[in-house]
Structure formats: structure tokens, C-alpha cells
Structure 1
Amino acid sequence: MKKVIIATQNLGKARDFEALLRPFGYEVLTLKDVAQDMDVEETGTTFEENAILKAEAVAEALQIPVIADDSGLEIDALNGEPGVYSARYAGGEKSDNANIDKVLEKMAGVPENERTARFRCVLAVAAPNRKTETFSGSCEGEILTERRGENGFGYDPIFWVPSEGRAMAELKPEEKAAISHRGNALQKLKLAMPEWLL
């Protein structure tokens, strides 16, 4: 089985990649498996900049092909927040619950027809002595007024997917993979998979 390194310590993201890449014969490894202490500072101002930073740093350090993902939630009523700050929106340590609480608080009183949002994802594929390539995807939805569902991670419990009639956290992993921002970006990656990754 072919191995691919995903430049993340996030097990939720790792599960998403596994659901998407296993059918293509890949064993998904994360930084927890190969370089536990490695943490690349995300100093970019866009998802694309951060994904490239992570992919190139890990590929250079480990001398192997790497896929890095930077993704987050953009809420129209909050002028695109939390955006690139999605993981640490509530400040300090990463906390899904604290981040969700902050969104719900800021969205209190926003009418239903103004609660539009999207998950956005950029994947960067890097390898030593290769040109880094990026692939992006998004998933449109709305922000709920309370949590729903037990699956997924991050903002999934408050992200309503109109096409599914359910919250993202109510979808099974394979259902989420079929419609998610990460799933859309990975479909583009698979269609234009760099030769050196095959």
C-alpha cells in the first residue's frame, strides 16, 4: 500500500483524508505518526499561503511527498470570520466547543436568511525539488442556532448543509467526504494528481 503524509496533528482531518484516499490504495500517515514534535507556524493570511507553508516545510524536513490542508469556516454576516483563524477563533488553545460558542454568540439575533456560510479548503502538495501545487474546494451552507449531530469535528455541529437537509455533524464520514470542502478539493487533486505522487 502506498503511503502519503498529511501535514497535520488533527485526527479529525486525518479521518477525512483516510475516507477519501483509502479507496485509491493509500495508507494515510500524519505528523503524529512520523514527526510528532513538528509544528509549522501558520503565518499566512490566506488558506493557500498556510497550506503551502506547511506542505513545503514538512516535505523539506522529511524529504518525502506531503499533502497539507488549510481550511476553515467563512461566515458572510461576520465579514468572512473566522476564516484563517478558524482553529483558534476563541483564542488560546484550539477548542472546538469554545470556537462554536463564540460563533453562536456573535450570530445571536442574525435572521435565518442572513446566516449563509461556507467551509473552504486548500490542499497543497509538495515534494523535494518539485513545484508545489494547490487545489481548493468549498461547501456552501448556513449557521444553525444550536449544535446538532455527533459526527465530524470543528464547526460541523452548527453547519447546516441544505442539499443534505442535515447538519454536517449528522452525516456519516463517507457522506461528508462526498460533499465537503475537503472532499471537493481532493476530487480536484485526484483529477490532476501530480505524476510524482502516483
Structure 2
Amino acid sequence: MNNLVFATNNLHKIEEVQTILKGQFTLKSLIDIGCTEDIPETADTFEGNAGLKSEYIVKHFGLDCFADDSGLEVTALNNEPGVYSARYSGSRDMEQNINLLLAKLGNHQNRAAHFRTVISLRLKGEHYLFEGVINGTITHTRMGIEGFGYDPIFIPEGHKKTFAEMSQKEKNSISHRFIAVNKLSSFLKNR
């Protein structure tokens, strides 16, 4: 198995996952397979949303694939934004999403948070889930210009820099997606 469909058109995710897989697989995006539909993400869990996306590809295209759903969960905000991370402010504008999160968190002492990724793999009629979590804290202001999403306000545990201050290589070696994709990669290698 050299080609694998990754049910996303997010170029940042594709690049990040391709880097983590180190050429082990050639990823095909939704555009690559001719999927132009906006796949519904109506579940209230990461597992549910990832599963909906991978199930859609199998059902409509008959291809084995994997999909992920991930987000930021902030302890003091009852794990918000969670599954709504990409549209927390009601839009997909990450500046607005970050502004809302920082405003809601205010000067709260507890700034603990974690990024979580769940990968849903549909392979030969079977369904598998892989999870990656990285703990950290939320900063008071944005720091760094690398990465995407909430990277400028998240400092992973044991580090002094936000994800956005790290090179892609540094981030990829510790990220929640890295952990989940490594589990996926190991599973596929052993099949």
C-alpha cells in the first residue's frame, strides 16, 4: 500500500502528515480523488467527526482512507473549543477564534490545555481509531509565526516556545498529530 487517501483538503495537515510519514505513503487528498463535497462534521466528539469523514469516502468512493479530527481543549473553559476549534467564533477565521478564546480565558490562573487528534482509518471493511494528545498551556498573547490554528498561543509541556515559534520539524516531532500518525503508521507497517 503506497497510496493512501487522507480525507482532507487542508494543505497544512497534508504537508504535516506527509512529513511525519517520511515518504512511507503518498497521500491523496479529497481533491485528488475528485471529492468536492463538504463532508458533514456533525458529531459532538473528535472520534465521531473523524469517523463520519472516513465513512463518507468509503461509501461514496469505495476507497480505503483515513480522516482526522483534532482540536484544542482548554481545561478552564470546560474543554472548549473542542470539536468546534476550527469555527469557535462562528467563522473559520483563526484570528477571531484565538481572540475569542483569549477573551474567554481572560486572566484565569489555570491555563492548562491540550491538543487532541483522533484518526479514523477505514481499511478493507474494518474501522480503527488512533489518538494523539499533547498537554500544554495557553499564553496570554500570540507568539511566533509558524504553524497554523491555535499554534501561536499553545506552549507544549516541557517546552518554552509556542508551536508557532517552533520549526515544522520541531513541532512535528512532538505534536498530537505526530503521536496519532505514528500510531497509524506503525499499524499499517505491521499489516
Q: TM-score, normalised by structure 2?
A: 0.93
The residue aligned with 2:36 is 37
Equivalent position amino acid for 1:40 in 2: I
The residue aligned with 1:96 is 94
Mean Cα displacement is larger for which, 82-91 or 172-181?
172-181
3-state SS in 1 of match to 2:173? helix
Matched, 1:122 2:118: yes
3-state SS in 2 of match to 1:142? strand
TM-fit CA distance, 1:120: 0.3
1:159 and 1:130 map into 2 onto residues whose CA distance is 37
Runs of 4+ off more than 3 Å: none
Mean Cα displacement is larger for which, 32-41 or 117-126?
32-41
Equivalent position amino acid for 1:125 in 2: L
TM-fit CA distance, 1:190: 2.0
8 Å Cα contact 1:21-1:28 kept in structure 2: no
- Give unpaired runs (5+ residues) of structure 2: none
TM-fit CA distance, 1:36: 4.7
TM-fit CA distance, 1:131: 1.1
Tell me which of 165, 168, 173 is aligned to 1:173: 168
TM-fit CA distance, 1:164: 2.6
3-state SS in 1 of match to 2:44? coil
Tell me which of 98, 107, 110 is aligned to 1:109: 107
The residue aligned with 2:158 is 163
1:56 and 1:73 map into 2 onto residues whose CA distance is 24
Equivalent position amino acid for 2:86 in 1: A
- Larger helix percent: 1
1:8 and 1:23 map into 2 onto residues whose CA distance is 18
3-state SS in 1 of match to 2:107? coil
Q: Cα 1:194–1:162, aligned 2, differ >3 Å: closer, same or farther?
A: closer
Equivalent position amino acid for 2:102 in 1: L
The residue aligned with 1:4 is 4
- Give unpaired runs (5+ residues) of structure 1: none
Q: TM-score, normalised by structure 1?
A: 0.90
Q: Cα 1:165–1:102, aligned 2, differ >3 Å: closer, same or farther?
A: same
2:43 and 2:107 map into 1 onto residues whose CA distance is 32
3-state SS in 1 of match to 2:126? coil
3-state SS in 2 of match to 1:179? coil
Instruction: Map residues 42-121 of structure 1 onto 2, 5 A cutoff.
Output: 42-92=41-91, 94-111=92-109, 114-121=110-117
Mean Cα displacement is larger for which, 82-91 or 8-17?
8-17
Equivalent position amino acid for 1:20 in 2: I
Mean Cα displacement is larger for which, 134-143 or 12-21?
12-21
Q: Tell me how large the CA RMSD over aligned residues is.
A: 1.7
